[in-house]
Amino acid sequence: MRAMKVRYGIVGGLILATMTFAALAEEQKTLVVGTITTPVVNNALGSGTAPGTPGTQVFAGLVELDDHFVPQPYLATSWDVSADGLVYTFHLRQGAKFHDGTPVTSEDVAFSVDTVRANHPFGRAMLGPVDRVETPDALTARFVLKQPHPAMLTSVTTLLLPILPRHVYDNGPIRTNPANTMAIGAGPFKVAEFKAGQSITLVKNPDFFMPGRPKSDRIILRFYDDMQSARLSLENGETDAILQTSFGYGDFDRLKKNPKLNVFTDTFAGLGIVDYLEFNLRKAPFNDLRVRKAIAHAIDRKFLVEKFQGGVTQQLEGPLPPDHPFATKDLVHYDYDLKEANRILDEAGYKPDANGVRFKATLDAPTFSPDGLGRVADYLKPQLKRIGIEIDRRISPDSATWAQRLSNYDYDMAMSQIYNYPDPVIGTHRLFLCKNQIKGVMFSNTGGYCNEKVDQLLEQASKETDPAKRKELYAQFQKIITEDLPYIYTTTELPYGVAQKSIVGLPKTVLGTMAPMWDMEKK
Amino acid sequence: MTDGAVVARTPFTDAWTSFCRNRAALFGLLLIVTIIFMTLFGPLIYRVDPLDIVSAPLLPPGEDGLPLGTDYLGRDLLAGIINGGRASLAVGLSAALLTMTLGVTVGALAGFYGGWVDRALMRITEFFQVLPPLILAMTIVLLFRPSLASVAVSIGLVSWPTPARLTRAEFMRIRELDYVKAARAMGARNARLIWRLILPNAAPPLVVAATLTVGAAILFEGGLSFLGLGDSNAVSWGLMMGMNRPYLLDAWWATTLPGVVLFLTVLAVSLVGDGLNDALNPRLRER
C-alpha cells in the first residue's frame, strides 16, 4: 500500500516535472510586449501606434524603412521609377502567401491602395497623387501618378500601406469587417486571439517568406493604458518589452539605473513628434499676432526641457524637430522675456484690469502626454498670469474629450501634439493647408490657419523631386510659420522603449514600435 | 439653597459635559479648530501664491527655504496645503449642507405624510441609492464641467439618500408619540407639527449625521480631484495628490503631505461626530 503511494508520488512528480519543463520550453519562445489599447488590428483604418503595432506584425507592406530612412525590399523585391518620376513599378515576391494560403497578387496591392486612400486619416495625402494602380501580371504593380510624389516610397511601408487580401476585405463595408480584429495578412505573425481591451495573441506564421523569421513562436501584445502598472510590470519582469512607452521623463533615469532593463531612444526619429500650443484663430484675441508673439516670449523652453522632461527632449521653435531630415535653423526666434511680452501686450492695447488681468482664455490638454502636454499646460497657467492672461485650465477626463473640443473648435488655446513622420507630406501638411479645415476631424487644421503662400509652398514641395530644392521650400515654409505663429512650439517628444536585457533583436527602424518584431527573441 | 453656585442644567450643557468626557472627541475638536484656523488665517500669515512657480519642481522639504518643498510644477507645497484647505473645507461644508437640506426635506415629507407621498419619495430615493455614488458623481461633474461648485453639487446629489432614510425613520417614530398626537388634537397645523415638534426632537441623530457627512464629503472631493475631476483652477488637497501622483516614486512628499492633512481632517471630523453621537444620544449618555 505504502509502496503504491510512493510510486504514484514519483509518477506524479515526473508528470509535474515534465509539464513544468514543457511550460518552460514554451515560455522561452513567447514574448509579452506591452502596447496601448487598440480596437482593431487592421492599420489601414487608423493611424498611430495603437493599430500600427499589431498591424505591422500581421500585414506585410511593399517596403520597410531601415534605421536610416532608406526603403528596403519586403513584399516588393525591387522597384523601378520612371525618369519623370510618374511611374513606380513594384515587383512582388514570388511565393508570398497570405495567412489563409492564397498568394499575394498585384490585385491585392491595388485594392489596398484604394482602401487606405479612402479610410486612413493620411490616405489622401499619401496616396492622393496615385492616379491608378495597373496590374499587368500577378506579380507586377505599377503605380501611375498624377504628379511627382517624392514621399511615394515612404508611403508604401507596412505602417502606411498594409497589403490586405482582397478576397477577405472586399466584402461589404470595411469598417464592420470581422477581419479588422482577426486580421489576415502576409506578415510574420498571425492573429490567434483578440481579447477586446486586454490583449492580442500573435503566433508565428510558419509560411512566412523570409527564411529564419520570425524568431519567436508567440507574441502576446498586452494592452496597458495605466503607465504606472505598465512600468511596474517591466520592473518585475512580467512584461518583456514595451517598445514605445508614454512614461514620464522622470522615470527615464530610474529605469536606466535598473540593471535588468535596456532603455533605448534610438528608434523614433521617423516619428518626428512635436508638442505645441495651438490657438483657435477664429476667435479674438487669439487671431491677433501680437498676442501670440507675447505668449511665445512668455514660455521658458529651457525650463520645460530641463525641469519637466529630465533633459531627454529638445527645445523646439519650429514645426519640425531639429533632427528631422527637413528641419531648418533659419527661424524667427522668440526668447524667454516676460518684460518684452508685457510690453507687446501693453502696446497692443490689452489693458490690465484692477487684478492685473488683460483677458481670460481657456486651455485644454489631453491626458496621453503627462510630462509633455499636461504638465506644460499646468505650467502655462501661472506663467501666463505673469503677463496678465488668466488661464482657465479645463480638465478632460480622457484624451477623447480634448480631441472633441479641438476638432469642433470649442476652445481658445490647447496643448497639442503631432507626428510629422519621415516625410512632411504625410504628417506635417495636414496642420497648415487652408482646405484641411474639417470640422470634427482631429489632427486636421483645427486652429483655422490659412496663408496662401504656405499653401503654395507645400503644394510645390509635395511635387518637387529635387531633394535640395525640396528642402529649401520646406525651409521657407518653416520660417513663415514662425512669423505667423499659428502654433507656438514648445518641445519635441522623445518616446523611449524599455525591454528586458535578455531580449535581443529589437526592431531597428525609425518608426518605433510600428515595425515587424521578426527578429525579437528571448536569449 | 446657596446662591448662584449651580449652573442651570440644560440639554446643551449636559451634552457638552458628556462630550468633554470623551477625550478622543476633544482631540478631534482641537484638531478641527486648528485646521480651520490654518485655512482661514494661514494665507494671511504665509503669503505665497499657491499657483505661482517659485522654484524647481519636486524639491524635497527644507530645500531652497521652502519648508515642505515643491510640487511637480515647482509650486510651494506649504502654500498649496494651506490654501487647498479652503477649497476642500468649502466643498465639504457646502456639499454636506446640500446633502442634509435635500435629505431632511425628502425624509421629513415622506415620514410625516406617509401614504403615496412616502411611496413616491422613497422610490426616488431608492433610484439614487442603487446608482454607484462615485460613478454618478463623476457623470454629474462631467455633464457640467469640473469646478468647485459642480463638485459640491454632485456630492450633495449622490449623498442625500442616507439622511433622507434616517429622517424618515425618526419622523415616523416621533409622529406617533403622545405629545405630537395631543398637539394635533388641539388643532396644530402640519407645518407647526413638523417644524416645532418633530424636527427638534429628531435633531440629535441628524446633527451627528451632518457632521459625518462633512467628513465624507471632504473625502469624496479628494477622490474626485484625485481622479482628475476636480477644479484645476483652485488648489485642493485631493487635486494636489492627484496631480503629483505620477511623481510619487521620485517625490513622495508632494503626494503624501496633502494626503496626511486630508486624513487628519477627516479623522477629526469623524471623532467629533462620534463624540456628538455619544453626547446627544440619551441612552448612551448614561454609560
Could you tell me how far CA A51 lies from the centroid of its own chain? 10
List all residues 6 or more positions away from A8 whose beta carbon is below 8 Å from its beta carbon.
none
* Percentage helix, strand, coil for chain A under 3-state DSSP, each rounded to 5: 35, 20, 45
pLDDT in tens, chain A (523 residues): 455 555 555 555 555 555 555 555 455 589 999 988 888 899 998 887 888 999 999 999 999 988 888 899 999 999 999 999 899 999 999 999 999 999 999 999 999 999 999 888 788 888 989 999 999 999 999 999 999 998 899 899 999 999 999 999 998 888 889 999 999 999 999 999 999 889 999 999 999 999 999 999 999 999 987 777 888 899 999 999 998 887 777 788 888 889 999 998 887 878 889 999 999 999 989 999 999 999 999 999 999 998 888 888 899 999 999 988 899 999 999 999 999 999 999 999 999 999 999 999 999 998 888 778 988 999 999 999 999 999 998 877 777 888 889 999 999 999 999 999 888 988 899 999 998 888 888 888 999 999 999 999 999 999 898 889 999 999 999 999 999 999 999 999 888 899 999 999 998 777 777 889 999 999 8
At B284 the pLDDT is: 56
Contacts of B73 in chain A (CB under 8 A): 375, 378-379, 382
Report the 3 state secondary structure along B54-93. CCCCCCCCCHHHCCCCECCCCEEHHHHHHHHHHHHHHHHH
pLDDT tens-digit readout, A474-495: 999 999 999 999 999 999 988 8
How far A254 CA sits from the closest chain B CA (Å)?
Answer: 9
Mutate to test the interface with B, among A395, A396, A398, A415 (most CBs of B within 10 A): A395
- A326 interfacial to chain B (CB closer than 8 Å): no
Contacts of A234 in chain B (CB under 8 A): none
How far B245 CA sits from the closest chain A CA (Å)?
Answer: 10
Interface list for B 178-207 with A (CB within 8 A) = none
Specify burial of residue A489 (Cβ count, 10 A radius: 0-12, 13-18, 19+). buried
Nearest CB partner across the interface for A395, out of B49, B75, B146: B146
Q: Give the ipTM.
A: 0.74
Q: Inter-chain contact A307–B56, Cβ cutoff 8 Å?
A: yes
- A255 interfacial to chain B (CB closer than 8 Å): no
Please give the residue of chain B at the shortest CA–CA distance from A362.
B233
The pTM of this model reads 0.77
Torsion sign (Cα): A411, A414, A419, A425: positive
At B2 the pLDDT is: 47
Q: Say how far apart CA B17 and CA B14 lie, in whole Å.
A: 5
Nearest CB partner across the interface for A375, out of B52, B56, B72: B72
Specify burial of residue B160 (Cβ count, 10 A radius: 0-12, 13-18, 19+). buried
Specify burial of residue A344 (Cβ count, 10 A radius: 0-12, 13-18, 19+). buried
**Helix, strand or coil, per DSSP, at residue B26:** helix
List all residues 6 or more positions away from A346 whose beta carbon is below 8 Å from its beta carbon.
none
Please give the residue of chain B at the shortest CA–CA distance from A382.
B52
Mutate to test the interface with B, among A257, A378, A380 (most CBs of B within 10 A): A378
- B235 interfacial to chain A (CB closer than 8 Å): no
Mutate to test the interface with B, among A227, A307, A336, A385 (most CBs of B within 10 A): A307
Contacts of B74 in chain A (CB under 8 A): 307
Q: Say how far apart CA A214 and CA A343 lie, in whole Å.
A: 62
Q: Are strands A63-65 and A71-73 parallel, antiparallel or unpaired?
A: antiparallel
Q: Are A127 and A191 in contact (CB under 8 A)?
A: no
Torsion sign (Cα): A268, A234, A27, A52: negative
At A316 the pLDDT is: 95
Q: Inter-chain contact A395–B228, Cβ cutoff 8 Å?
A: yes
Interface list for A 446-505 with B (CB within 8 A) = none
Cell of A159: 505602417
At B1 the pLDDT is: 44
Q: Are A255 and A231 in contact (CB under 8 A)?
A: yes
How many CB atoms neighbour CB A378 within 10 A?
25
- A379 interfacial to chain B (CB closer than 8 Å): yes
Q: Are A417 and A276 in contact (CB under 8 A)?
A: yes
Mutate to test the interface with A, among B49, B51, B53, B142 (most CBs of A within 10 A): B53
State mean pLDDT over B253-270: 93
Q: Say how far apart CA A233 and CA A34 lie, in whole Å.
A: 9
Q: Inter-chain contact A379–B73, Cβ cutoff 8 Å?
A: yes
Interface list for B 80-99 with A (CB within 8 A) = none
Q: Say how far apart CA A149 and CA B208 lie, in whole Å.
A: 76
Q: Inter-chain contact B250–A379, Cβ cutoff 8 Å?
A: no
CATH topology (fold) of A273-492: Dipeptide-binding Protein; domain 3 (3.10.105)
Please give the residue of chain A at the shortest CA–CA distance from B225.
A395
User: Residue B61 — φ and ψ, nearest 5°?
Assistant: -55, 140
How far A305 CA sits from the closest chain B CA (Å)?
Answer: 12
Interface list for B 215-234 with A (CB within 8 A) = 228-230, 232-233
Could you tell me how far CA A136 lies from the centroid of its own chain? 35
Where is average pLDDT lowest: B191-205, B213-227, B271-285?
B271-285
Nearest CB partner across the interface for A382, out of B51, B72, B249: B51
| CA nearest to A315, candidates A343, A275, A353 | A275
Q: Inter-chain contact A378–B232, Cβ cutoff 8 Å?
A: yes
Instruction: Please check the confidence at residue B203 and state whether its pLDDT lies above 90.
Output: no
Q: Say how far apart CA B231 and CA A462 lie, in whole Å.
A: 45
Write b or e for each residue in B139-156: b if 16 or more Cβ atoms lie within 10 A of its Cβ, otherwise e.
ebbbeeebbbebbbbbbb
The CATH architecture of the domain made up of A30-38+173-268+496-522 is: 3-Layer(aba) Sandwich (3.40)
How many CB atoms neighbour CB A244 within 10 A?
21
Cell of A43: 492599420
Q: Inter-chain contact A307–B74, Cβ cutoff 8 Å?
A: yes
Task: Show the domains of chain B with their CATH numbers.
Answer: 31-53+69-285 (1.10.3720.10)
How many CB atoms neighbour CB A105 within 10 A?
21
CATH topology (fold) of A60-169: Dipeptide-binding Protein; domain 1 (3.90.76)
Report the 3 state secondary structure along A198-251. CEEEEEECCCCCCCCCCCCCEEEEEECCCHHHHHHHHHCCCCCEECCCCCCCHH
Question: Which residue in this structure is represented by grid cell 497589403?
Answer: A163
State mean pLDDT over B238-264: 89
Please give the residue of chain B at the shortest CA–CA distance from A254.
B250
At A16 the pLDDT is: 54
| CA nearest to A140, candidates A93, A210, A101 | A93
Q: Say how far apart CA B208 and CA B215 lie, in whole Å.
A: 11
Q: Inter-chain contact A395–B232, Cβ cutoff 8 Å?
A: yes
Instruction: Please check the confidence at residue B204 and state whether its pLDDT lies above 90.
Output: no
Nearest CB partner across the interface for B53, out of A254, A383, A394: A383
Contacts of B247 in chain A (CB under 8 A): 248, 250
Interface list for B 132-151 with A (CB within 8 A) = 138, 142, 145-146
Residue spans of the domains in chain A: they are 30-38+173-268+496-522, 60-169, 273-492
List all residues 6 or more positions away from A520 whose beta carbon is below 8 Å from its beta carbon.
A31, A33, A214, A215, A216, A219, A241, A503, A504, A505, A506, A507
Inter-chain CB pairs, A–B, below 8 Å:
52
pLDDT tens-digit readout, B124-143: 999 999 989 889 998 888 88
Contacts of B249 in chain A (CB under 8 A): 251, 254
The answer to whether A60-169 and A273-492 have equal CATH topology is: no
